[in-house]
Amino acid sequence: MNERKDYDAVVVGAGPNGLAAAITLQQAGLSVLLIEAKKTIGGGMRTAELTLPGFKHDVCSAIHPMAVMSPFFKTLPLEAFGLEWIEPPVAAAHPLDDGTAAVLTRSLETTAQLLNEDKEVYLKVFGKLVKQWKSIQHDVMAPLHIPEAPFSFVDFGTKALLPATQFAKRFKTEKAKALWAGLTAHAVQPLDRLTTSAIGLVLTTAAHTGGWPLPKGGSQSLADALAFYFLSLGGKIETDTPISSLKQLPSSRAVLFDVSPKQLLKIAGHNFSSLYRSQLTKYRYGMGVFKVDWALDGAIPFTAEECRLAGTVHIGNTLTEIAANEKATWQGQHPEKPFVLLAQQSLFDSSRAPEGKHVAWAYCHVPNGSTKDMTAAIEKQVERFAPGFKERIIARHTFNTSELEQYNANYIGGDVIGGATDIGQLFTRPALRYSPYRTSTKGIYICSASTPPGGGVHGMCGYNAASRVLKDLF
């Protein structure tokens, strides 16, 4: 371990938010130490040979629409530090049982055109949002405050608060409804709940403004670029240093934790007021995930050609089917036909697998804490839309919720987005306070995905928390 000294700020946890917080503080001229429990930095941005030598799998995050649309990440010179984005021809494809597929592309007009009868509705809704996005992006990606563009923000907010199933009623075709269902299933909630339209609106806008790219070489490339930039500013990083007590930290004016509320209680709970401890104890986590990585003897043979051009494939058929299965999962069941989110990085990045071979990445939602093996159910869903897929599997690696939490302590019960983002916690995560990043103790802050704006590789939780630290203490 490196010799310790005093710092202006210490950041615990080197995921996207911890890195963003550390960079923001270092940019302001502070001396910052970033501490990571694991041997490598990255949090949800790591790449490893999980199956066979030469097959590079993204351990957690894979496709990064939120990273390229992040108001903070967009300001950083990450390409100068080794980051290279690859954008597939199709952002996301959604196969249906009739052999066709709905598609989301970079082009607003092309996507609308392919939705036939729903073309005009799509153009009206998302054309307006694409035009508004630049003026509302900071408002959407921040805690509750007086918005800079109030009318545009309210227009977005009234749509975002709707249940996905209700929003879908404006579409006529099953294809458009299915595309919307796959996008809103990223909310990790039943689609008939309030606010589930929010993530669909953001992800669709992301496709039409910045795309759904993947980092060349794997998600670790994004983490490394952020770390190299932080180091170039004079920041310091310590890895392989798990923190279980405040006593382990060097003295500083501020400590920012990129950890879940449950972890924060373990590390610093005795320093907090009884009210704040109670609020963190009552914080609710959402559904977990069961994840599979495959080493393949060839590309996935999707029936629909559009799926063979997509970086991301949403598997679940119709809105009705996806909504029913997500609701069943939320209620503690394990549906036979779960919604599956799949990425096929090696189709567009040859560095991910040996020549002629491929990797693929997929997960389905499961009840929080579930240890049920969903491998067969996931593979059956892929085979449903890609006959012959199973024959191409050379090796596989799986994570259940317990193994995911063991890998990353932030993933409580397999919840990879930092807590349920329903109406009860959307604006008050992790506690009801003037600033969600402040704890009850001066100088201690939380900057994880359990703060606004929530899960996703965008760094805005870290940026917002660091901005609050600068206002409060420096």
412 occurs within a structural domain? no
Buried (b) or exposed (e) across 409-429, using 16+ Cβ within 10 A? bbbbbbbbbbbbbbeebbebb
Same domain, 205 and 219: no
Same domain, 167 and 308: yes
> Residue 252 sits in a domain of what CATH number?
3.50.50.60
> What per-residue confidence (pLDDT) applies to 427?
81
Q: For 273-290, write each residue's pLDDT tens digit.
A: 999 999 999 999 999 999
Range of the domain at 398: 91-212+287-407
> Domain boundary residue among 378, 407, 436?
407
> Domain boundary residue among 407, 433, 448?
407
334 occurs within a structural domain? yes
Same domain, 148 and 296: yes
> What per-residue confidence (pLDDT) applies to 1?
40
Domain tally, the chain:
2
What 3-state DSSP class applies to 358? strand
Same domain, 343 and 324: yes
> What per-residue confidence (pLDDT) applies to 280?
97
Same domain, 293 and 279: no
What 3-state DSSP class applies to 334? coil
Same domain, 44 and 173: no
Same domain, 225 and 99: no
Whole-angstrom distance, CA of residue 327 vs CA of residue 189: 7
> What per-residue confidence (pLDDT) applies to 5?
63
Contacts of 278 (CB under 8 A, 6+ apart): none
Same domain, 77 and 102: no
Q: Which residues of the chain have pLDDT under 50?
A: 1-3
Same domain, 237 and 251: yes
> Residue 292 sits in a domain of what CATH number?
3.90.660
Give the total residue count for the chain: 474
Confidence (pTM)? 0.96
> What are the backbone dihedrals phi and psi of residue 463, each rounded to the nearest 5 degrees, phi first?
-65, -45
Same domain, 315 and 184: yes
50 occurs within a structural domain? yes
Contacts of range 143-146, beta carbons closer than 8 Å, 24 or more positions apart: 143/427, 143/435, 143/436, 143/437, 143/451, 143/452, 143/453, 143/464, 144/427, 144/452
CA separation (Å) from 175 to 96, 97, 119, 171, 180? Answer: 8, 11, 12, 9, 9
Same domain, 254 and 301: no
> What are the backbone dihedrals phi and psi of residue 253, each rounded to the nearest 5 degrees, phi first?
-80, -25
Q: Could you write out the DSSP letters of every residue in 264-324?
A: HHHHHGGGS-HHHHHHHHT-----EEEEEEEEESS----SSGGGGGEEEEEE--SHHHHHH
222 occurs within a structural domain? yes
Residue 275: CB atoms within 10 A of its CB come to 12
What 3-state DSSP class applies to 338? coil
Q: Could you write out the DSSP letters of every residue in 367-399?
A: -TT-----HHHHHHHHHHHSTTTGGGEEEEEEE
Residue 369: CB atoms within 10 A of its CB come to 16
223 occurs within a structural domain? yes
Same domain, 43 and 129: no
